[in-house]
Amino acid sequence: MAHQLTTSYVKDSIDLFRYYKRLAERALEQCPDEGLTATLDGESNSIAIIVKHMAGNMRSRWRDFLTTDGEKPDRNRDTEFEEPPKARAELMALWESGWKYVFDALEGLQEADLARTVTIRTEPHSVMQAINRQVAHYSYHIGQITHLSKHFAAEAGKWTALTVPRKKSSEFNAKVASGQASQR
């Protein structure tokens, strides 16, 4: 995604969420099916668990975003870390359903909404604070997804860098300068 200058916080937030979503999807595409449910150790989450947790969080935080608490009474966070989807198609459907809540909520916002107050676990946040909280949360988990995907894809000899490849910064910077690559 090419970086676009904007003074709209709402537009930039949507662009950032789309960027991170696509980054994770490019990582997931490279991950072998068996890697989706594998863990590195007994304390680690699998990619499938992380996706299930993110989808549950997205549904809770973004459904009725401006009018209800971001921690919905029907959310059971603990079960997000149990029994993940086993099939890639089911996992990706869960992923898409979560992101639909995010984009439906954000695309309906106006800049004037940024100063409104929403609550998350009864704690007041400005809309802008709530968005920032979720950008940080999702990028954290997308880093985990990317790390795990790279680990399992590299084991299979099938990893292609998602951003600037190792020892290729000069080449990448030249492409950015010539307009052939995006910085984001």
Average pLDDT for the chain: 92
What mean pLDDT do residues 126-136 have? 97
Whole-angstrom CA distances from 86 to 19, 26, 60, 82, 142 are 26, 19, 23, 12, 19
Query: Per the domain annotation, does 94 fall within a domain?
Result: yes
What mean pLDDT do residues 23-36 have? 97
Is 62 a residue whose pLDDT tops 80? yes
- The C-alpha atoms of residue 25 and residue 36 are separated, in whole angstroms, by 12
- The C-alpha atoms of residue 96 and residue 22 are separated, in whole angstroms, by 11
Query: Per the domain annotation, does 4 fall within a domain?
Result: no
Is 1 a residue whose pLDDT tops 60? no
What mean pLDDT do residues 8-30 have? 96
pLDDT score recorded for residue 99:
98
pLDDT score recorded for residue 67:
97
Is 49 a residue whose pLDDT tops 60? yes
Query: Per the domain annotation, does 1 fall within a domain?
Result: no
Taking the alpha carbons at both ends of the chain, their separation in whole angstroms is: 6
Query: Per the domain annotation, does 161 fall within a domain?
Result: yes
Contact 49, 141 (CB under 8 A): no
Is 120 a residue whose pLDDT tops 60? yes
pLDDT score recorded for residue 181:
62
Is 184 a residue whose pLDDT tops 60? no
Is 165 a residue whose pLDDT tops 80? no
Of residues 164 and 42, the one with the higher pLDDT is: 42
CATH of the domain at 165: 1.20.120.450
Q: pTM, whole model, 2 decimals?
A: 0.88
Range of the domain at 127: 9-178
Lowest mean pLDDT among 74-83, 84-93, 103-112, 151-160: 151-160
Query: Per the domain annotation, does 2 fall within a domain?
Result: no
> How sure is the predictor about 166, in pLDDT bands with cuts at 50, 70 and 90?
confident
Query: Per the domain annotation, does 184 fall within a domain?
Result: no
How does 29-56 read in b/e, with b if 16+ C-beta sit within 10 Å? ebbeeebbbbeeeeeebbbbbbbbbbbb
> How sure is the predictor about 183, in pLDDT bands with cuts at 50, 70 and 90?
low
Contact 166, 154 (CB under 8 A): no
Percent pLDDT > 70 in the chain is 91
Number of domains comprising the chain: 1
CA triplet 159, 89, 141: central angle to 5 degrees?
55
Cβ contacts of residue 166 below 8 Å, gap of 6+?
none
Contact 73, 120 (CB under 8 A): no
